[in-house]
Amino acid sequence: MPSWLFQSPEASSRVVTDLTKLRLFFFLAPLLSGIILVFAFPGWNSNLAVWLWPFPLLSVLWPWRNVDGVKVRPFWRGYLAGLAFFLPNLWWVRHSSRVIGGAYDDTWIGWGPELLGFGAAIGLSGYCAVYLGLWSWFTQRYARPKVEKLTKESWQISTTHSLGCAFLAAAAWAACEWLRSTTVFTGFGWNGLGVAMHRNLVLIQAADLVGVLGLSFLPMFVACTAWNTLTRLVFAYRGEGTCKSRLDLTVALVLLLGTAGYGMLKLTEKAGDDITVRTVLVQPNVAQVDAWTGRLAEQIYDRLDKFTRMYAGARDGKNPVDLVIWPESALPVNLNDHFHQLPEGWHTNYFDDLLHAGEFSLLTGTELHEHGRTHVSAVLFREHSRNRQDYHKLHLVPFGEYLPLGDYPPFSLLRGVIPGDFTPGTNAEPLQLMKPEVQIIPLICFEDTVGRVARKFAREAPQMIVNISNDGWFLQSDETEVHLANALFRAIELRRPMVRATNTGVTCFIDTHGRVTSRLDDPDTGKSFVEGVLPGEVQVPRQGKLTLYARFGDWFAILMLLICVVKWAVARFARPATS
C-alpha cells in the first residue's frame, strides 16, 4: 500500500497533491516531446528541435528517482509523444478523401469526405505512433541507465554504462523506424529523424553509407548521452553523486564530428567526369478534380504540346534538349485509351507529331492496361510513339492505389471509395536514354521516398533518378515540401543526380549531395503551386560507382534491430546461475 496512507492528514494531502502533479507531468512531458519534434520538419525546419525533442520524454522513461504511486507505462508515454508529433505532421493526409469529394481548397466539402479525411489522418497517425511506443517500451525496460551507476561509480564504469544504454536506445530507434517503413501493408517510413536533418547538408552525406534510417541513430545517441551527463551534473550539484564524467558525451560529439568530417569530404571532393543531360521539366498544375472530370483535357494536351515544342523543338538544325519529362498522371486519358474516350489512333498521331519536333526523348506518366491488369506507369518515347520503354510502378500506395485485404471487412467497405485498384510491376530494370547514353531510374509518386525500392535500379553505369509525381491529392498543403524532404535522400544514398517533375508540388533539380540546385516557384510569392517549365542540365557521373547503401541497403538499421532482439532475448530467457 502507498506509504502516504499511514502519514498525518496534512502530510498525506501534500503527498497526494505531489502525486497528482507528477501524474500530470508524466502526461504532458511526452506530449511536449512530440510537439517539439514537429518543428524539425517542413513548415519550420528547426535544426535545434532535432536534438532537443527527446529530453521531455527521457525525463519520463529515464527518471532520476523512482516514484511510488505513479506507473510509468512506457509504451503509452511513447504513444502519446507519437500522436503529438504525427497528428500535426500528417494532417495533410485528410485532403485525399476531400479531393475525391470534389475539393479544390480548404473549403468545407461535406460531412462524408471531411470525416473520412479526419479518420485517415487520425488512423495513420495512430498507426505510426505505435512504433514510438514500442521504442519507449524497449528503452525504458532494457536500456534504462541505473542512476547509482551513473552518479556514484568510477568514471570508467559510469561512462561505459552510459554509452551502452545510449547505444541501445539509439539502436532501438533506428530499428523501429525500419519496422515502420517495412511492416504492415508495405510500411510508411516518412519523416524519421534522419529526414528531419534534411537541411544539414554536412551530416546527411553519411546516408550513402547507412541510409536515411541509419542517420536517425545519431541524434538519438547524442541526446541520450547528453541526458546521462546532465543526470551526473545535477546529482553532483546536489551533493548526491560523486561522478562528474563527461566522456560519454565526448564520445557522442566525436561521432558527430566524424560524421560531419565525412560530410565535408564528400561536399568538397573533386568532381569527376560527368555526362550532361539537358533536361526540361513540365509542371501542368492541374487540380485533381479537373483531371477526373476531363473537362480540361483538350487544354491540357495543348499546353503539354506547347511547352514541349517551346523548349525542346529544334532550332536552326540544333536540338537544345535531350530529355523532356512530364509528371505522373500528365495525360488526361490513359495512353492506350482503355475506355475509348478518343478517336482511334489519336495518341499515336499526337506523340508522333510532337516527337518529330526535335531529337529528344519524352518521359511521361500514365496508366497502362495490359492483360486485364491496370498499372501506374512511366513511358519513355524516342523518335516516334512505337519506340517506347515502359515501367510499371513497383511500390503501390495502400488505400490509395490498392486496397489491402479488400475482400474482408472492414476493408471491403472502402472498395467503392478507393479511386483505383492497380497491379504492381515486377521489373526493376532502368530505362535507357539513348542520346546521351544514360540510364534512368524511374520512380513514380511516393517511390522516391522508399530507399529500398530506388536501390533496386542501381547499376554500375551512368544513371540519373527521375521522379514523376502528382501531389494534387493534397491541395496546397505542406505535403509537397514534406515529400521533397523525404525524397532528396535518394540522391545521396545512391550518389545519383535526381530530377522531380510534379503535376503540383515541387518540380526541381537535385545534385548527388542532396542539394536542390533549381526549383520551379512563383517569382512573386515563392509558392511552388504554379504552371510552368523548368529547364536545366543534369550532371551524371560517368563511372556510376555503387555506394555502400546501394550494395547493401538498410544493413545498419537491420543490424540495430538484431542487436535489440538479442538484448531482449537474453533479458527474457536468461536465468540466473544456481549453485
Q: Please check the confidence at residue 579 and state whether its pLDDT lies above 50.
A: no
Nearest to 304, CA basis, from 276, 333, 278, 340: 333
Task: Report the pLDDT value the prediction gives residue 64, as an integer from 0 to 100.
Answer: 87
pLDDT value, residue 5: 34
Residue 28, helix vs strand vs coil = helix
pLDDT over 90 percentage in the chain: 69
Q: How far is CA 453 from CA 37, 82, 364, 425, in A?
A: 27, 26, 20, 12
Question: How much is the pLDDT for 7?
Answer: 44
Burial of residue 536, with CB atoms counted within 10 A of its CB: 0-12 exposed, 13-18 middle, 19 or more buried: middle
For the chain, the average pLDDT equals 90
Specify the residue for cell string 534512368: 440
Sorted by sequence, the CB contacts under 8 Å of residue 182 that are 6+ apart come out as 189, 452
Mean per-residue pLDDT for 513-540? 93
Cell numbers for 510, please give them.
Answer: 537535385
| First and final C-alpha spacing in the chain | 35
CB 479 within 8 A of CB 121: no
For residues 504 and 472, give the distance between their C-alpha atoms in angstroms, rounded to a whole number: 5
What pLDDT, on a 0 to 100 scale, did the predictor assign at position 12?
A: 42
Q: Which helix (H) or strand (E) holds 20?
A: helix 9-38
Reduced to 3 states, what is the DSSP secondary structure of residue 50? helix
DSSP string over 482-537: HHHHHHTHHHHHHT--EEEEESSS--EEE-TTS-EEEE---TTT--S---EEEEEE
At residue 197, does pLDDT exceed 50? Answer: yes
Give domain limits for the chain: 19-268, 274-542
Q: Cell numbers of 368, please?
A: 497502362
Please, which pLDDT band fits residue 304 given cuts at 50, 70 and 90?
A: very high
**Segment 28-84, tens digit of pLDDT:** 999 999 999 999 999 999 999 999 999 999 999 999 887 766 788 999 999 999 999
Cell output for 340: 475509348
As a whole-number percent, the residues of the chain with pLDDT over 70 amount to 93
Q: Encode pLDDT of 447-466 as tens digits.
A: 999 999 999 999 999 999 99
- C-alpha closest to that of 192 among 517, 552, 569, 489: 489
CA–CA gap between residue 231 and residue 208 (Å, rounded): 35
Cα–Cα distances in angstroms (integers) from residue 489 to residues 197, 468, 480, in the given order = 10, 16, 15
pLDDT at 386 over 80: yes
Pairing of strands 274-283, 532-541: antiparallel
Position 4 scores a pLDDT of 38
The torsion angles phi and psi of 381, rounded to 5 degrees, stand at: -100, 150
pLDDT at residue 19, as a whole number: 81
Res 455: pLDDT: 96
pLDDT in tens, 137-157: 999 999 999 999 999 999 999
The yes-or-no verdict on residue 406 having pLDDT over 60 is no
CB 377 within 8 A of CB 367: yes
Angle 250-254-257 (CA atoms, 0-180°, nearest 5)? Answer: 135
Cell readout for 350 is 499526337
Domain 274-542, CATH homologous superfamily name and number: Carbon-nitrogen hydrolase (3.60.110.10)
Q: Greatest CA span in the chain, whole angstroms?
A: 99
In terms of Cα–Cα distance, which of 495, 427, 488 is closest to 461?
495
Mean pLDDT on 152-167 = 94
DSSP state letters, 544-573? -PPPHHHHHSSHHHHHHHHHHHHHHHHHHH
For the ranges 314-318, 528-532, 545-549, the lowest mean pLDDT is seen at 314-318
Instruction: Dig out the grid coordinates for 379 from the structure.
Output: 513511358
Give the span between the Cα atoms of 74 and 498, in whole angstroms: 41
Query: Exposed/middle/buried for 273, CB within 10 Å: 0-12, 13-18, 19+?
Result: exposed
Of 6-20, 145-159, 239-253, 324-338, the poorest mean pLDDT is in: 6-20
pLDDT single digits (tens) 465-493? 999 999 988 988 999 999 999 999 999 99
Q: Give the Cα-Cα-Cα angle 182, 194, 517 (nearest 5 degrees).
A: 110
- Span 80-124, pLDDT tens digits: 999 999 999 999 999 988 988 888 888 899 888 899 999 999 999
pLDDT confidence of residue 72: 82
Find the Cα–Cα–Cα–Cα dihedral 471, 474, 478, 484, rounded to 10°: -20
Using CB atoms within 10 A of its CB, is residue 303 exposed (0-12), middle (13-18) or buried (19+)? middle
Q: Please tell me the predicted confidence (pLDDT) of residue 33.
A: 97
Q: Going by C-beta distance under 8 Å and a sequence separation of 6 or more, which residues neighbour residue 315?
A: none
pLDDT confidence of residue 290: 82
Q: How much is the pLDDT for 9?
A: 45
3-state secondary structure at position 1: coil
| Residue 375 confidence (pLDDT) above 70 | yes
In 3D, which of 456, 522, 527, 536 has the Cα closest to residue 490?
A: 456
